[in-house]
Amino acid sequence: KGVCGGILGAIRGIWTGVPPVKFGLIMALNGIEVGVCYMGTKELVMKFRNVDDWQNHTLSGILSGGLMSGYYLGSQFAIYGSAFGCIGATTAVYLREKWVTYQIKQYAYENNPALREEELRQKQIEENSKIETNPWPKWLPVRKLTREEYSDILKKNEEE
C-alpha cells in the first residue's frame, strides 16, 4: 500500500505542480498507515474468530475504515468510512479468490493432459447433443417429422 500510495502521490504531485517527491512521500506514509490499521484489525478479528475467511476481511475493512475516517474527518464520517472499508475489503478478497482459483485451474490444465482430453471429449459430446436435441419441450406433443413422413403428408393433401 505504501508503494501504491507513493506512486499515486508522485503522479498527483506532478499533476498539481507540487514537488512530486514531497507529495509522494506523504501519500506513501498514508498508504502505510492504512495498511497497518487494516492488518492490525484483521489480526484482532482473527484472534477472536480463529478462522481466516472473507468475513475477517469485511469486518477489518469496516473497523479500519471507521477508525481512520473517524480519526481524521470526525465521528460523523465514521459510518461512511466503514461502508467504504467494507466494500473495498470485500471486493479485494473476492477478486483475490477469483484470481487464485483461475491460477489453480490454469496450472492444473497445463500440467495434466488428461484434463485437456476430457475437455475436448466434453465439447464433442455437447456439439453432438446440440445437433440431435429436439428444440421443443418434452410435454408438448410436437415432434420433428422425417422426410418420408413429410412427403407422405404432402401426398395425402394433394389427393384430397
Tens of pLDDT along the chain (160 residues) come to: 556 666 666 666 666 666 666 666 776 777 777 777 777 888 888 888 887 777 777 888 887 887 777 777 777 777 777 787 777 777 888 888 888 888 888 887 777 777 777 778 888 877 776 655 566 666 677 777 788 888 898 898 888 7
Cβ proximity of 2 and 25 under 8 Å: no
What is the per-residue pLDDT for 13?
66
pTM for the complete prediction? 0.46
| Residues 17 and 32 sit within 8 Å (Cβ to Cβ) | no
Quick check: helix, strand or coil at residue 75?
A: helix
